[in-house]
Structure 1
Amino acid sequence: MIKQILSDKPTRLFLVLAGFFIANAMIAEFIGVKIFSLEDTVGIKRLNLPLFGSNFSFHLTAGVLLWPVVFIMTDIINEYYGSRGVKFLSYLTVTLITYSFLMFSGAIYLKPSEYFTIGNGIDNANNAFKGIFGQGLWIIIGSMVAFLIGQILDVLVFHRIKKVTGEKRIWLRATGSTLISQLVDSFVVLFIAFYIGRRIQEGQGDAWTLKQILVTGTGNYIYKFTVAVVLTPVIYFIHGIIERYLGHALAKEMKDAAMND
């Protein structure tokens, strides 16, 4: 049975794409707790530009390292497996991330042994563990809601553009759908997690102002916008690999079916 499943090229391709999609989304979620300075990382002076009444510099979550891969996987899956394929993997990813955080929460409440150490000069290993894996409930909710809204928007825009352009202009439907979906995603997650959530749930730090939401969201979106454009050749490269793997006849059949999904 397994041999029969794995011998089917579309099924095997879906498993590979799904694996990269889910793995990258989950890793991005877990490392997203870290905020880094893009300018300090690349060794340049911070911009400190006036924006929305505040100083704007690139302060990003570490998750942005992997979300571009999720964007590419979304568009590739959309191309060959349609909206049902993307939605199925999106719902599955949210379920698995939620499950993972529940397991992390359980691990946090386990009483640490005196043998539990991390090293690198960290005095309280249990507090460090809790600080990394114990993200607030509203951060999780905001991230999941933003992810699902972004994925649904990506699917809708992608298919709308393809209906107009046909098989041509892969760059337009892939990059265009990403730019629109991530515009919403970049602000929704911050608004829910740090504006709404911190006003409802006490003890989670000071609530952000709308100015902070706008400034940080703008930085995140500029980064995602730039990466989406830069990665456009990668989408063509992956398309070429898949077309050769499936064969043009099977690839066309799958893409036609995806459009009628």
Structure 2
Amino acid sequence: MTSTATRTDRPTATYARGTRGVHDLVLTSFVAVLLISNIGATKLIQFGPDVAILGFPVLPIITDGGAFLFPLAYLLGDVLAEVYGMRRARRAIVTGFVWAAVMSVTFLVVDAAPPAVDWPNQEAWSAVLGFVPRIVLASLVGFLVGQFLNAWVLVRIKDAFGERRLWVRLVTSTVVGEFADTVLFCTIAFGPLGMWLGGGSIPLPQLVNYIVVGWVYKVLVEVLLLPVTYRLVAAVKRREPDYH
């Protein structure tokens, strides 16, 4: 006599609709972090003396001002994808993209408007917030591709394993999404992909340094913030009535 066992414990992925909980707070925080980071990214920053190994520059570390806050955009993007699924995450990404574009166009109009006669800061304003096509395009393209990949990878892993192994999908999605984002932003804003918009590019060794440092830094921040991400994900799930 033989018996046939049927598996009933297959992993299931649960998502909230986001209509009665804290989805609005997560979404607005996500967009705010994106906009602030894009403004900060207009400044290149370097730390350390000139150090090269076999002709390749190891120091100084080259990054941009957006690095201080932008990793939080991926943390919040992880929360959106983990708790609300791909549909809500995609909507949040498109919302962030649209408002980043609106911000850029607004800066363009303000920069082009004639300054008051007694206002002495036009050149300083233009230097910091003026419309720079390469920076704007790099930010928008990098964000759009990186965040979509981040959400897609996270949701695919969750669909495969259910609620288990949260750390796997958090880290894996960040590695993929941040790599695409960093490569696109750096090569368009300061590398050969953006030269057709005008201006030159930084030397290839410095560009590689910029990409590698930015990518590794953002991934390390995500890993270090895993305890925070776990608690934030759990808190958001508890506040979504239809999650469980």
Normalising by the smaller structure, the TM-score range is: 0.7 to 0.9
Deviation per residue, 1:31-69 (Å, 9 max, x gap): 2112223x4xxxxx5473537733433221111111121
Alignment partner, residue 103 of structure 1: 106
What is the RMSD of the two structures over their aligned residues, measured on CA atoms?
2.2
Alignment partner, residue 97 of structure 2: 94
CA–CA distance in structure 2, aligned partners of residues 144 and 52 of structure 1: 33
Q: Which of 21, 40, 43 in structure 2 is aligned with 1:34?
A: 43
CA–CA distance in structure 2, aligned partners of residues 176 and 51 of structure 1: 32
CA–CA distance in structure 1, aligned partners of residues 111 and 50 of structure 2: 38
Contact 1:57–1:219 (Cα < 8 Å) also in 2: no
Q: Which of 1, 16, 20 in structure 1 is aligned with 2:29?
A: 20
How many residues align? The count is 228
CA–CA distance in structure 2, aligned partners of residues 142 and 51 of structure 1: 31
More helix by share: 1
CA–CA distance in structure 1, aligned partners of residues 55 and 226 of structure 2: 31
Matched, 1:131 2:112: no
Contact 2:142–2:180 (Cα < 8 Å) also in 1: yes
What is the TM-score of this pair, normalised by structure 1? 0.79
CA shift, 1:135, in A, is 4.1
Structure 1's 52 and 215: CA in aligned 2 closer, same or farther, altered over 3 A? farther
Structure 1's 52 and 26: CA in aligned 2 closer, same or farther, altered over 3 A? farther
Identity %: 22
Matched, 1:175 2:160: no
Deviation per residue, 1:207-233 (Å, 9 max, x gap): 234333211101101211210100100
Contact 2:187–2:194 (Cα < 8 Å) also in 1: no
CA–CA distance in structure 2, aligned partners of residues 9 and 215 of structure 1: 40
Contact 1:24–1:66 (Cα < 8 Å) also in 2: yes
Structure 1's 51 and 148: CA in aligned 2 closer, same or farther, altered over 3 A? farther
Is there any run of 5+ residues in structure 1 with no aligned partner, and where?
1-7, 40-44, 118-124, 253-261
What is the TM-score of this pair, normalised by structure 2? 0.85
Q: Which of 137, 141, 144 in structure 1 is aligned with 2:140?
A: 144
- Letter of the aligned partner of 1:59 in structure 2? I
Is there any run of 5+ residues in structure 2 with no aligned partner, and where?
1-16
